Structure 1
Amino acid sequence: MAADVAGYSRLMGADEEGTLTQLKSLRNNLIDPTITAHRGRIVKTTGDGMLVEFASVVDAARGAAEVQRAMAAQNISVPQHKRIEFRIGIHVGDIIIDENDIFGDGVNIAARLEGIAEPGGICVSDDAQRQIRGKAGLAFDEMGLQSLKNIAEPMLAWRLLIDDNLPSRSKHVETPLRPDLPDKPSIAVLPFQNMSGDPEQEYFADGIVEEIITALSRFKSLFVIARNSSFTYKGKAVDIKQVGRELGVRYVVEGSVRKGAGTLRITGQLIDATTGAHLWADRFEGRLDDVFALQDMITEGVVSAIEPTVQKAEIELAARRRPANLSAYDLCLRAQPHFHSMTHEGLAEALRLSERALEIDPSYGFAAHLAGSCHALRIAQGWASDLNREMGETTRLFSLALSIDDDDPDFLASVGFVTSYLTEDFPTAAEMVDRAVALNQNSALAWNMRGYAYLFGGKAAEAVRSFERTIRLNPLDPMLFLALAPMGIALIELRRFDEAVAVARKAARQNQTYATTYRCLASALAHLEREAEVKEAVARLLAIEPNFRVSEWLKRGAQWHRHNRLTIEGIRKAGLPE
């Protein structure tokens, strides 16, 4: 059995002497005698925790349950933020005895199970549960497969339920009905802790959280818990897994604010509430001279990190689900790695999966949008077997997505992109993409589509600004080359040829199969008369698109021959076939 005190660092920070005195009293009067009574031996203590060996796993379960019941009874009249509550993990298995210590997988697993237990709760392994059930008058709740740190394979874990007729922690906390997880990524942003000791920073911290909630709620792909629900946890010591169950969310954001010498330091972290795993953490600092600018900077930094991190986590989660249980949402998640591969086969598979998702749920706008994106990239790569049909499908699917949700900024921006690419109606396209970024200024995709629309409309400087915003919002995006390559083309039109080469080379380092990258590189290098490098860029382009012809390429977009003359001039200078 492994046990430790939940929130020990917080308790010590608030009242070190009082916490140590209270913990010593509990050990002497309650915990140690209970362990001894159930034939347990305390192998070692770690200040806030202990490792215990029992003669049998049934003894361990009975002893742990008795400790938690007694602790819950002791805590009835203690304020939540001052309670000492133990988390306990139990496993049965071989151990290695070395003088006065024990080692081995049995010990490691018990320690990891303790880490995923609730404060006041007990978590047991599947091996332990099989030996306990039916023998100790105890009930269990299955927690599913759990990925435990440094344990190779996921393990089935169980929550040991304390008897309902005896005092327990849950009887003294108002717990709402536990809703099911939504069918899309769900997230709650908890009030940030004010570590400054300055009440004025409390308002600043709350303001940041409200801004983050508002910014995240603009992503139609996320289910975001409203401020009023999140702020019910303000000032409380919380268990992230319990928060996740009570609010019905998979992800939780928490953080802290600390002031010092005219500056503020904000820390934030994103946690998977189902496992307790940390997915992202960062620190932001700024001066208090302009509080609102600092608040905007922090909000943008947190939101631009969270949205792609959640998406990556959801894709990895979908890959672990059983194929028989796939929904339209799961199919689209599974399609995205194929989409990101930027290969002929990958795009074909992504298109197949997204079309299948649309068959399952014809009102699923994201599936329509993803399928349209597959067609658009096939056109860009020169892989369209029937150019007119692919163009028609791109327009149809993007328009379908927008008809399903006409207020989704990403759908709106994509229709604006298609409008600018296939027609001469730049004013309409500009109106669409401008409205899209107004709806969600933190959407990297909306800014990227705006960049394309302005590029095709002959507004190269504004296109560069949009692409720079895309890169700023999502600097680690595996598809960032889709912003870098067109940004290079816009730089060519501004006669900034050296910058265009640098941007195109960065795109090529990220992905070596995107044809637009090498069209940009060949054109910019030709303008700079760097002949050897031009030949290399041309060879790379023709390896991706062997049948490339300048005349056919120009047919793919009505705006190209009107507004991007320097790019086309460079392509011809590079010696590509007409």
Structure 2
Amino acid sequence: MRAKRAVLILDVVESVRLVEQDESEFISHWLAFVEHVRSRILPDHNGHFTKGLGDGMLLDFDDVRSAVLAAFSIQQERNRQNQALPPAQQIMLRMGIEISDVIIDQADLYGRGVSRAARILTLAGPGEIVISANVRDQLTADLDADIEDLGECYLKHMPQPVRAYRVGPPGPRPVIETGYAFEGLLPTLAVVPFTTRDPEDEHHVLGEVLAEELIQDLSRSPELHVISRLSTTVFRGRDASLAQVSANLNANYVLSGSYRVQNRQVMVEAELAEAKSGQVAWSARYKGQLSGIISGKRDLIDEIAANVNAAIMVSELQRAQSQALPTLKSYTLLLAAVALMHRLSPHDFSEAHRLLEALIERAPRQAIPRAWLAKWHVLRVQQGWSDDPHQDAQLALRCTKQALDADPQCSLALAIDGFVHTNLLKKLDVATERYDLALLNNPNDSLAWLLKGTLHAFKDEGQQAVSCTQRARKLSPLDPHRYFYDSLAATAHLTAHQFDRALKLAQRSLKSNCTHTSTLRAMAIAQWELGHHDDARRTVGRLMQLEPHLTIRSWRERSPSTGYRIGEEWASVLHQAGVPE
């Protein structure tokens, strides 16, 4: 039988975590709640319990208002029951509602409305109800519900965006929090003041100085959220446990340590611990000159900060590779995806795509995961792995469009949109506008400066290219993908005919990642121009092993430098060094 029904689908947020935490307790609570919905709530709203979905329910109603009122009742009952549970055991629901013609049989519903309700559900955060435009049209704002327009939203397996709305019970005050903040996409690090091992040490304030300098360095990492010094300094002199520091600062990692001053030298012991497990993720000892720290010389601070940043990346990558996707925090998915993508090995590259897709499905209204997926498509073409560069270009463009629809001022999305227009579409004027807009929104966006510098290089503007890439490298000294910065900086120095510097940067980049084909091309050109012809031929040999189908013709087709003098110069050198015509 076919009939028009309002379809409500709900499920439990983080059900895998709740089951792993206490299977019997969760199942007992959930089954009792399902029975309450079936026997107490649905009869009051003329609703029908179609079926259970394991950690969810499929319900249908005669009309939209009944479905929405039932959703509010379910939400209120869930909130009431959660008050009696510890925070870690609370069951949070998300719901999606659509109205459509469906096919009804004795045990199930079928049709487009059911699948659309399931997709709309993914837009909801914990404790949220999201509805379609069809449902919204049958509600009166402020009378039936408090309604917030989410705009055009992109849903998995749906080619066109869908207009969606978030709803809450009507009332004198707004009950919908504006801009629901999805779980943080960056891990949070707290750096507490280092303690002295000598109570009589006249330099007892040095612990504050070390923490402040480390916070300043680590705050420049785009992969971390670092708690401010004003918040962490309250723990100076307190014998606080790791759990206390983490709970008060809401930190995922805590960096602490001790120091001793002896003969004008400082011995520092630093330790990075994961807050939840209490496990030490990294520790090390360092020695430096006291005068250097006090006078602002940053060698010791930079070394500690770089190692801390790398240790967090390694920890999150290991977690992503050892645990099931549903159990991972969003920042773990993001950091692991970006790390695997930049390894540029085929298997890891494919895994990065899987992680980004999973994160986008979990956080469909976040700009950053879509921006990184766009970069994934650009790198796929650059590495010579794409079977259809035109399709990858369109997919990358779609990703950046969706990212900018979600957050028009996201500097990362703007910068990568410029990257797409530079490297895949060759629309350099549009790319220039994107980079400028990214830097207008965030003047310290190192990736935007880097990519803008590369654009200047492709246009044979050597000095501007070098200036921009130098600024990028200075802004991001701790970037875990430093090879990428060094590689693009090498290209900038090639354009400026600074071949010695280009060669050194390319060599350093390849030391960190020997599979980046763009770096190999830059190094071969620098070697040839310096007269190291045999070295250049060997480098091209390595390049052809990684990209066996590379020709000068195919390189011209995809290089943004084609049509500029510098592009012709590079094509000639690569051909002489062994790339076939």
TM-score scaled to structure 1, two decimals? Answer: 0.57
Answer yes or no: is the 8 Å Cα contact 2:374–2:420 preserved in 1: no
Query: 1:41 aligns to what?
Result: none
What is the alpha-carbon distance in structure 2 between the residues aligned to residue 276 and residue 327 of structure 1? 17
Query: 2:256 aligns to what?
Result: 254
- The correspondence for 2:576, drawn from 570, 573, 578, is 573
Query: 1:489 aligns to what?
Result: 491
Query: 1:277 aligns to what?
Result: 280
- The correspondence for 1:513, drawn from 512, 515, 520, is 515
1:364-399 deviation per Cα after TM superposition (whole angstroms, max 9, x unaligned): 333213211210111211222222332233333245
The SS at the match of 2:560 is coil
What is the alpha-carbon distance in structure 2 between the residues aligned to residue 334 and residue 213 of structure 1? 23
- The correspondence for 2:427, drawn from 387, 412, 423, is 423
1:478-536 deviation per Cα after TM superposition (whole angstroms, max 9, x unaligned): x4432333333333333333443444344444434322122223322332444433333
What is the alpha-carbon distance in structure 2 between the residues aligned to residue 182 and residue 310 of structure 1? 15
What is the alpha-carbon distance in structure 2 between the residues aligned to residue 184 and residue 464 of structure 1? 25
Answer yes or no: is the 8 Å Cα contact 2:520–2:539 preserved in 1: yes
Distance 1:335 1:407, change over 3 A: same
Query: 2:173 aligns to what?
Result: none
In the alignment, structure 1 residue 361 sits paired with structure 2 residue 366:
no
Query: 1:9 aligns to what?
Result: none
Tell me the percent identity: 23
Alignment of 1:95-114 (within 5 A): none
Distance 1:351 1:412, change over 3 A: same
- The correspondence for 1:394, drawn from 389, 393, 396, is 396
- Unaligned ranges ≥5, structure 2: 1-87, 89-182
Look up the equivalent residue of 2:282 and give its one-letter code.
L
Answer yes or no: is the 8 Å Cα contact 2:265–2:288 preserved in 1: yes
Look up the equivalent residue of 1:577 and give its one-letter code.
P
Distance 1:189 1:406, change over 3 A: farther
The SS at the match of 1:357 is helix
Alignment of 1:119-198 (within 5 A): 184-194=186-196
Look up the equivalent residue of 1:272 and give its one-letter code.
E
What is the alpha-carbon distance in structure 2 between the residues aligned to residue 268 and residue 449 of structure 1? 35
Answer yes or no: is the 8 Å Cα contact 1:315–1:334 preserved in 2: yes
Look up the equivalent residue of 1:462 and give its one-letter code.
S
Distance 1:470 1:542, change over 3 A: farther
What is the alpha-carbon distance in structure 1 between the residues aligned to residue 238 and residue 435 of structure 2? 47
What is the alpha-carbon distance in structure 1 between the residues aligned to residue 540 and residue 219 of structure 2? 44
What is the alpha-carbon distance in structure 2 between the residues aligned to residue 345 and residue 576 of structure 1? 26
What is the alpha-carbon distance in structure 2 between the residues aligned to residue 338 and residue 390 of structure 1? 19
Answer yes or no: is the 8 Å Cα contact 1:184–1:329 preserved in 2: yes
Query: 1:123 aligns to what?
Result: none
What is the alpha-carbon distance in structure 2 between the residues aligned to residue 283 and residue 401 of structure 1? 42
Answer yes or no: is the 8 Å Cα contact 2:345–2:515 preserved in 1: yes
Deviation at 1:333, TM superposition (A): 4.8
Deviation at 1:252, TM superposition (A): 0.6
Answer yes or no: is the 8 Å Cα contact 1:201–1:257 preserved in 2: no
What is the alpha-carbon distance in structure 2 between the residues aligned to residue 281 and residue 360 of structure 1? 37
Deviation at 1:251, TM superposition (A): 1.0
Query: 2:387 aligns to what?
Result: 385
Query: 1:244 aligns to what?
Result: 246
Deviation at 1:196, TM superposition (A): 7.4
Look up the equivalent residue of 2:537 and give its one-letter code.
K
Answer yes or no: is the 8 Å Cα contact 1:447–1:469 preserved in 2: no
Distance 1:463 1:568, change over 3 A: farther
Answer yes or no: is the 8 Å Cα contact 1:523–1:573 preserved in 2: no
Distance 1:488 1:246, change over 3 A: closer
What is the alpha-carbon distance in structure 2 between the residues aligned to residue 183 and residue 362 of structure 1? 13
What is the alpha-carbon distance in structure 2 between the residues aligned to residue 413 and residue 265 of structure 1? 42
- Unaligned ranges ≥5, structure 1: 1-141, 143-180
Query: 2:536 aligns to what?
Result: 534
Deviation at 1:305, TM superposition (A): 3.4
In the alignment, structure 1 residue 293 sits paired with structure 2 residue 296:
yes
What is the alpha-carbon distance in structure 2 between the residues aligned to residue 505 and residue 330 of structure 1? 30
1:72-123 deviation per Cα after TM superposition (whole angstroms, max 9, x unaligned): xxxxxxxxxxxxxxxxxxxxxxxxxxxxxxxxxxxxxxxxxxxxxxxxxxxx
Deviation at 1:260, TM superposition (A): 6.1
What is the alpha-carbon distance in structure 1 between the residues aligned to residue 306 and residue 562 of structure 2? 32
Distance 1:265 1:554, change over 3 A: farther
What is the alpha-carbon distance in structure 1 between the residues aligned to residue 221 and residue 408 of structure 2? 14
Distance 1:563 1:222, change over 3 A: farther
- The correspondence for 1:209, drawn from 197, 208, 211, is 211
Look up the equivalent residue of 1:283 and give its one-letter code.
Y
- The correspondence for 2:232, drawn from 223, 230, 233, is 230
Look up the equivalent residue of 1:424 and give its one-letter code.
L
C-alpha RMSD of the superposition: 3.9
Answer yes or no: is the 8 Å Cα contact 1:279–1:309 preserved in 2: yes
Query: 2:467 aligns to what?
Result: 462
Distance 1:266 1:418, change over 3 A: farther
Range that drifts further, 212-221 or 517-526: 212-221
Query: 2:527 aligns to what?
Result: 525
Distance 1:207 1:433, change over 3 A: farther
1:34-59 deviation per Cα after TM superposition (whole angstroms, max 9, x unaligned): xxxxxxxxxxxxxxxxxxxxxxxxxx
Deviation at 1:307, TM superposition (A): 2.9
Query: 1:35 aligns to what?
Result: none
Distance 1:493 1:252, change over 3 A: same
Deviation at 1:315, TM superposition (A): 1.6
| Larger radius of gyration between Structure 1 and Structure 2 | 1
Answer yes or no: is the 8 Å Cα contact 1:402–1:412 preserved in 2: yes
Answer yes or no: is the 8 Å Cα contact 1:375–1:391 preserved in 2: yes
1:230-269 deviation per Cα after TM superposition (whole angstroms, max 9, x unaligned): 2332212233244334544231112345556667666543
What is the alpha-carbon distance in structure 1 between the residues aligned to residue 222 and residue 512 of structure 2? 28
Answer yes or no: is the 8 Å Cα contact 2:453–2:467 preserved in 1: yes
Look up the equivalent residue of 2:188 and give its one-letter code.
S
- The correspondence for 2:560, drawn from 533, 552, 558, is 558
- The correspondence for 1:473, drawn from 464, 473, 478, is 478
Distance 1:297 1:429, change over 3 A: farther
- The correspondence for 1:322, drawn from 321, 324, 338, is 324
Look up the equivalent residue of 2:576 and give its one-letter code.
K
What is the alpha-carbon distance in structure 2 between the residues aligned to residue 215 and residue 518 of structure 1? 31
What is the alpha-carbon distance in structure 2 between the residues aligned to residue 398 and residue 282 of structure 1? 43
1:110-161 deviation per Cα after TM superposition (whole angstroms, max 9, x unaligned): xxxxxxxxxxxxxxxxxxxxxxxxxxxxxxxx9xxxxxxxxxxxxxxxxxxx
Distance 1:389 1:466, change over 3 A: farther
Deviation at 1:212, TM superposition (A): 4.1
What is the alpha-carbon distance in structure 2 between the residues aligned to residue 199 and residue 455 of structure 1? 53
Answer yes or no: is the 8 Å Cα contact 2:428–2:455 preserved in 1: no
What is the alpha-carbon distance in structure 2 between the residues aligned to residue 183 and residue 506 of structure 1? 30
TM-score scaled to structure 2, two decimals? Answer: 0.57
